[in-house]
Amino acid sequence: MTRRAHILAIIALSAVMVIFIQFNQTVAILTGGYLKTPWIIPESNDESYYLPLVNESAKGNTNLGNPFIKEHAQDRFLYPALNINTVGFIKRLFSLDVKTLSVILDYVMVLIISVLVFALFLTRFAWRPFGYFAGVVYLLIPRMFVFLKRPVSPQINFLPLLAFLIFYFSKKISFWKREIGLAAFTAVMFYTYPYHWTFALTLLGLTDLWSFIKARRIIWRQLVKYVLMAVGASYYFYNLFLITKLSYYHESMRRIGALYNRLPAGFFTHILLILLLIGIFFLARFIRRKRPELVHRLGFFEPAILGLAASSIVLNQQFITGMQLEFNSHYLPVVLIFATDAFVGIIDLARAAGEKLKMFAIAAAIVVLIVLIGADFNTLRENPFKREHFYPSADLQVVGWFRESRITDKVIYAPRDLNDLINLYTGNYLSFALNERLQLASTAEILDRWIYHDLGDGQATAGLMKYQNEVFGNFYTAKMQKDNVVHEALAFITGKKFIPATPEQYVKFDFGPIRRQRENATSEIFNSYLQKYNVDYVVYRVNDRPDIFGLVPGDIVFQSEKYIIKKRK
């Protein structure tokens, strides 16, 4: 195929993949009037975290300390902010509302990612047809099929990662162009996603070490890129240094999910890695014995093996560091790139190794495609756009009042079920936010804000344990999940029945005092709470405790059958 033919094929295939991935949303737009409303139907459950950050960036606040709590909005960012600020700049530049921005990201960014995925695998397979097959397989993996719908991550984060891997697999560009490209995109990844740059550094380290071993000497010019990366990432480390000096940095990290452990991780992912390595080993053994004229093609698997080895290292770096950040599934989309590369490489070489293997390879490819497409169609059946009452009209009336009244940058006290909607659609802050636990803040402050959150919800007061994640994040549940994976793997090996642990077994906190504080709260105590956190508006249910909310000094500015909005004096 000519270069032009490849470009047209990549664009056409990418467009088909986008329509398939966004099929439900496309139908909702064409036949359901989805674009006629300002409300987003979330498919990934991450809109309520990433899009408020984008809103905050669009206000000109590039620090992104906390988009939910006004007092911390100007704090230094915990997570790399280039991805958010890129989208925030686009939103501000074109004066886009959050719904329009979300839809644009869902189509334009997924299209760009698809183009880069095909370019990546075509580069890897020397622009042979199997590169298209690899790209389709990767995009159809159910994990990716769902993951690509998430705003910002991966819709922005994937761009420098895929560009990095294109340079990594490139064979025809000059040495220095490749090294500078690797350095530049690795440096960018420091400001987009920690799971990407840590993987990139591990992969480059293994690759360079292997090249030194083969050459039996250190190739000094290959180390220049690490100097360039260090220069490019210098502000990231400067910001990291400053936030580590905060008194609540370590507790914030533990709340987000930093585990102190040296237990193995990624059991089932490792099964996949081991099976692929076994497949490569036996195919290589067959080639050397039966088809020695194809031995030169075994070199193709070198990057795949290095990628699988890097995958194993990043999944289990806690053996050395003793620290595991969140759950290692964050690495899985990158791991799957090399898993796809190895799998398709095995099929490609098996196809050329003999007639029997050729038939087996073709059959395996067809089966894999059928299984993946079937799994994705099954995912599409869970269509959130068919939930006609996804957002109750009463909830949207409250949000609509703030929007129509052009009230923004104020602090709102609101029930739990309105938190995300108010923050996302009105540009206001909250006295307590469900996603606040994911930002830099002291757990004591979060707990204090949480004590009187949604005070009108008697069921929440009676069952505070159910909502412990709103304060402690993954502090307890990450350990529980980690142990569950270990125990499930052991049960699989021993054949015993797996009984998952429950949060009650791990959460070491007495909710009794908080329950009593909520039950015995007086109007004076509640008003002091509102004053302490600079609340401008109080939103409460019509049926909420009248002795608490009715005595809040202020004027009722909105009332529906379900909710009341009071402006505090």
pLDDT at 387: 65
pLDDT at 389: 53
Cβ neighbours for 304, distance < 8 A, ≥ 6 positions apart: 276, 280, 338, 341, 342, 345
pLDDT at 326: 64
Measured distance CA(408)–CA(462) in Å, rounded = 33
Q: Which run of H or of E encompasses 430?
A: strand 429-430
Note the pTM of the prediction, 2 decimals: 0.91
pLDDT at 390: 60
Cβ neighbours for 107, distance < 8 A, ≥ 6 positions apart: 18, 22
Would you state the structure tokens that stand for residue 492, as one six-digit string?
């699989």
Strand, coil or helix: 557: strand
Instruction: Supply the DSSP string of 363-379, one letter for each residue.
Output: HHHHHHHHHHHHHHHHH
Question: For the purposes of burial, counting CB atoms within 10 Å of the CB of 261, is it exposed (0-12), middle (13-18) or buried (19 or more)?
Answer: middle
> Cα separations (Å) of 149 from 32, 44, 334, 384, 507?
19, 6, 16, 13, 33
pLDDT at 388: 59
Measured distance CA(46)–CA(64) in Å, rounded = 17
Cβ neighbours for 262, distance < 8 A, ≥ 6 positions apart: 318, 319, 322
DSSP character at residue 73:
T
Nearest to 16 by CA among 147, 135, 146, 160: 135
Would you state the structure tokens that stand for residue 36, as one six-digit string?
């006629």
C-alpha dihedral, 171 to 173 to 174 to 179, nearest 10°: -80
Q: Does 154 sit behind a cis peptide bond, omega within 30 degrees of 0 on the bond before it?
A: yes
> Cα separations (Å) of 179 from 300, 317, 338, 459, 558?
20, 25, 20, 59, 61
Would you state the structure tokens that stand for residue 101, as one six-digit string?
């921005």
pLDDT at 32: 80
Q: Which residue has the tokens 């007061």?
A: 461
As averages over each run of 10 residues, the pLDDT of the chain (569 residues) reads 92 97 93 85 79 93 90 86 94 94 96 98 94 97 93 94 98 94 97 95 97 96 97 94 91 84 78 94 92 93 96 88 74 96 95 85 92 94 75 81 95 93 93 90 94 92 91 85 82 86 88 94 95 96 90 94 93
